[in-house]
Amino acid sequence: MSDLSSRRSDRAGATLLLILLSLAWGLSWSAIRIALDEVTPWTLRALAYANGTLFLFALVWLRGREAKLPCRPASLHIFASALLNVVGFGLLTTFAQLSALTSRVVIVSYSMPVWASLMAWLILGERPTAMALIGLILCISGLTILIAPLAASELPLGLVLALGAALSWAAGTIYLKWARLEGDRIVITAWQLLVSFAMLAVCVAAFEGAPHLWPLRVSTLLALAFHGVIATGVAYVIWFDIVGRLPVATASLGSLCVPVVGILGSIVMLGDRPTFADAVGFALILAAAACVLLPPTLRSASLPSPGNKT
């Protein structure tokens, strides 16, 4: 009886952590947009990846795990996946928010599980289930409803970048599955973030010189602190704790709360006013992601990487 109570308490604790994680990742979209008024995308992402690196290597050290970089083939896979999963997704979503409503960027970015399932079919030969095909139809319908009205007047650059971010994330996910990279997931993610920080640090030096971090408004400082420390640092620790307690499918489906929080946060914090067409597009893309995350055959390909939620 005590074991049953312990398992129930463990699941309840994991559910609470999943709620906190959804708030951290979801509200981070608005924090990013606030910070972008004074900080460039390059600097913002470099700071975030620096925080994530410190938190994850600290977690590795506290758990007494080996933090050594894997052998050369594995290290090359880590570099390639970091470029796609972390740098590509992070930069594209950040630049997207400069020319599109945050709420729209959030939902288009979260079409990523659908594209991952499609790439798994085309590249890995994994036959999609009926639910995955329905998800693809729903996703394309939702994107059409979102983009078509905007494309009638001009190229919706922000949404194109957001779609590129979703494709980058999906490609990174399929690449990792193809590479069959084995090892401690926390250590691998820590090295991905360290590689990403190094790449962004080089970009900051090349494009901006010394980063501009002072003087900044209080709101900008708070936004940077939230995104860097809470959403990119603490959130990693929470995610790996959740994955250790909950089934993969439960954690994956629970992560769908993130775009909902992201959209609501942009409405409250940024004053976004989605149209009726936006609402329909949001619903279709969210339903599409749920369809893909449900089939057990695609759960491994669709599980979101912790570094890619904002």
For the stretch 120-166, pLDDT in tens is: 999 999 888 888 899 999 999 999 999 988 887 777 999 999 999 99
pTM of the full structure: 0.89
Question: Whole-angstrom Cα distance, residue 234 to residue 283?
Answer: 29
Residue 191 lies in a domain: yes
Residue 90 lies in a domain: yes
Mean pLDDT on 238-257: 76
Residue 296 domain boundaries: 21-308
Query: In the chain, how many domains are there?
Result: 1
Query: Is 179 exposed, middle or buried (CB count within 10 Å of its CB: 0-12, 13-18, 19+)?
Result: middle
Q: Is the pLDDT of residue 249 over 70?
A: no
Instruction: Kindly report, residue by residue over 75-95, the tens digit of the pLDDT.
Output: 889 999 999 999 999 999 999
Residue 165 lies in a domain: yes
CB 187 within 8 A of CB 61: no
Compute the residue count for the chain: 310
Number of C-beta neighbours around residue 271 at 10 A = 8
Residue 207 lies in a domain: yes
Residue 10 lies in a domain: no
Residue 174 lies in a domain: yes
Tokens of 240: 């790996």
Among residues 25, 68, 309, 16, which one has the least CA distance to residue 188?
68
Instruction: Kindly report, residue by residue over 293-306, the tens digit of the pLDDT.
Output: 875 544 444 444 55
Instruction: Kindly report, residue by residue over 174-216, the tens digit of the pLDDT.
Output: 998 898 887 788 888 899 999 999 999 999 999 888 777 788 9
Residue 4 lies in a domain: no
What is the DSSP secondary structure assignment for residue 65, as one 8-state letter?
Answer: -
Q: Is the pLDDT of residue 44 over 50?
A: yes
Residue 285 lies in a domain: yes
CB 291 within 8 A of CB 138: yes
Tokens of 165: 């971010």
Q: Is the pLDDT of residue 71 over 80?
A: no
Tokens of 73: 């083939």
User: What does the pLDDT read at residue 256?
Assistant: 85
> Which residue type occupies 15?
T
Instruction: Kindly report, residue by residue over 49-67, the tens digit of the pLDDT.
Output: 999 999 999 989 988 888 8
Q: What angle do CA 134, 92, 138 make, to 5 degrees?
A: 10
